[in-house]
Homo-oligomer: A and B are copies of this chain.
Amino acid sequence: MDNLDLAIRKNRTTNATITLSHAGLPVTDQEILVQQKNHKFLFGSNWGESTLALANGELSGKAKEQAELRSERFVQLFNQATLSFYWARFEPRRGEPQTERIRNVARWYAAHGCLLKGHPLCWHTLTADWLLEMSNQEILSAQLARIERDVADFAGLVDQWDVVNEAVIMPIFDRYDNGITRLCKEMGRIELIRAMFDTTRAVNPQATLLLNDFDVSPAYDILIEGCLAAGIHIDVIGIQTHMHQGYWGVERTQSVLERFERFNLPIHFTENTILSGKLMPPEIVDLNDYQVSEWPSTPDGEQRQAQEVVLHYKTLLAHPSVQAITWWDLSDGGWLNAPAGLLHKDHSPKPAYDELLKLVKGEWWLSPTKITTDAQGQFTFNGFLGDYEIFIDTRKIPFSLNEKGTASLSIEL
């Protein structure tokens, strides 16, 4: 077991001692079955257009079968789903939000045990075109009203939000005019972030609120420091890692973690991409500039991807600050048409999917295990933090392991 595996055991598991009693007496020498039901760690991916269509009853025949396959593989591996709230798509015409359509897919994922996150509430890309007609004051009002409406509409269902996306580049983004860049130029990054976070939190005080960025330079580090020094309450630091130009490797990933761990905030790796085909050339600065009609997944690329995915997930799980990893595009054919999926376009698994599943539901997972309690009515096991069940005869008793290290639980039958 190498250093990463040891760190994962140290930071993600607990030595659990469970004591069973009945009418105040230990239940000794009792055979039980214990099994894990869920991870505390969030293993996620983004919505998927086909699952969105499926959950809204828009598919039939082969398309429906295909979507069902994708959705089945999603919930087999993942316990978290990021949902699309891009303003341009969510409300293409002012006053006509796609609330019901997104709510249907949110309910589908929730029913399949996934925690949900909305992405994003404020971003200069894919923002509403109709902001361009407005003054900055009107843009601000519309943006805050959008947050108030959508966060309220989804409260209890979606309680995690990427509140502001890519603020580092937001006021200097110059690819095209848009309302949010205009607003950020006037307000500054920090006051814009303050307005968005304060509004979101006021509507849903229970929600977990993220600042999210692809920039991992000192600029993002300093922006977070500035927000915190200005009294803005950020729950989680979101870091994108679209590695279309090559996997970062362990060392770079750890140096990024070292940069952001000092805030003592949880870190979510919100958008992870590792390709199973040709890499994007290094000279491309804005990934969106790389547009190709065909970008195949290759056998060699799939082997490489599988190794890199395993190393990436292990590196992140080994670090105690990381609480979530979200894969970006479960199946090929998503953003940039890149071979970025863990599944092929037909949703058949690539090696990376199989290897990740072996970890998440294998090496890092307690399958149904028979144990017999001792003379004190106790049994012990080392398990990953998460939700568990004990079966005793026909009874099923749930419990959770929430703290790493050691845990003692007493269960009265």
CB of A299 closer than 8 Å to a CB of B: no
CB of A218 closer than 8 Å to a CB of B: yes
Q: Choose the segment among A183-191, A383-391, A397-405 that binds chain B (4+ C-beta atoms closer than 8 Å).
A: A183-191
Q: Which residues of chain B come closer than 8 Å to A189, judged between CB atoms?
A: 222, 225
CB of A413 closer than 8 Å to a CB of B: no
CB of A226 closer than 8 Å to a CB of B: yes
A: interface residue count bin: 20 to 34
Q: Which residue of B168, B227, B259 is within 8 Å of A172 (Cβ)?
A: B259
Cross-chain contact A229 with B172 (CB below 8 angstroms): no
CB of A265 closer than 8 Å to a CB of B: no
Q: Which residue of B223, B259, B262 is within 8 Å of A222 (Cβ)?
A: B223
Q: Bound complex: CA of A243 vs CA of B219, how far in Å?
A: 22
CB of A217 closer than 8 Å to a CB of B: yes
Cross-chain contact B230 with A226 (CB below 8 angstroms): yes
Closest Cβ of chain B: how far from A21's Cβ, in Å? 49
Q: Which residue of B169, B217, B223 is within 8 Å of A226 (Cβ)?
A: B223
Instruction: Kindly report how many copies of this chain are found in the complex they form together.
Output: 2
Nearest residue in B to A193 (C-beta to C-beta)?
A: B229
Given that A223-B226, A226-B225, A226-B229 are known contacts, is A218 also in contact with B168, CB under 8 Å in the complex? yes
Interface of chain A, main secondary structure: helix
Closest Cβ of chain B: how far from A50's Cβ, in Å? 38
Q: Bound complex: CA of A223 vs CA of B229, how far in Å?
A: 11
Q: Which residues of chain B come closer than 8 Å to A188, judged between CB atoms?
A: 225, 229, 262
Cross-chain contact A190 with B226 (CB below 8 angstroms): yes
Q: Which residues of chain B come closer than 8 Å to A168, judged between CB atoms?
A: 218, 222
Q: Which residues of chain B come closer than 8 Å to A227, judged between CB atoms?
A: 226, 229
Q: Which residues of chain B come closer than 8 Å to A218, judged between CB atoms?
A: 168-169, 172, 219
Nearest residue in B to A169 (C-beta to C-beta)?
A: B218
Q: Which residues of chain B come closer than 8 Å to A191, judged between CB atoms?
A: 229
Q: Bound complex: CA of A91 vs CA of B188, how far in Å?
A: 41
Q: Bound complex: CA of A262 vs CA of B169, how far in Å?
A: 16
Q: Bound complex: CA of A168 vs CA of B222, how far in Å?
A: 8
Nearest residue in B to A258 (C-beta to C-beta)?
A: B172
User: Chain A 164-177, CB within 8 Å of chain B: the 1/0 string?
Assistant: 00001100100000
Q: Bound complex: CA of A226 vs CA of B232, how far in Å?
A: 11
Q: Bound complex: CA of A225 vs CA of B223, how far in Å?
A: 9
Among the interface residues A190, A227, A229, which one has the most CB atoms of the partner chain B within 10 A? A229
Closest Cβ of chain B: how far from A147's Cβ, in Å? 21
Q: Which residues of chain B come closer than 8 Å to A259, judged between CB atoms?
A: 172
Closest Cβ of chain B: how far from A254's Cβ, in Å? 14
Q: Which residues of chain B come closer than 8 Å to A219, judged between CB atoms?
A: 217-219, 222
Interface positions of A from 142 to 200, Cβ below 8 Å from B: 168-169, 172, 185, 188-191
Among the interface residues A169, A188, A189, which one has the most CB atoms of the partner chain B within 10 A? A188
Q: Which residues of chain B come closer than 8 Å to A229, judged between CB atoms?
A: 188, 190-191, 226-227, 229-230
Nearest residue in B to A215 (C-beta to C-beta)?
A: B218
Which residues of A are interface residues toward B (Cβ below 8 A)?
168-169, 172, 185, 188-191, 217-219, 222-223, 225-227, 229-230, 259, 262
**A-B contact list, 18 entries, CB within 8 Å:** A169-B218, A172-B218, A185-B262, A188-B229, A189-B225, A217-B217, A218-B219, A219-B222, A222-B223, A223-B226, A226-B226, A226-B227, A226-B229, A226-B230, A227-B229, A229-B229, A229-B230, A230-B230
Additional 19 contacts, C-beta under 8 A, given A191-B229, A218-B219, A226-B230: A169-B218, A172-B218, A185-B262, A188-B262, A189-B222, A189-B225, A190-B226, A217-B219, A222-B222, A222-B223, A222-B226, A223-B226, A225-B226, A226-B226, A226-B227, A226-B229, A227-B229, A229-B229, A230-B230
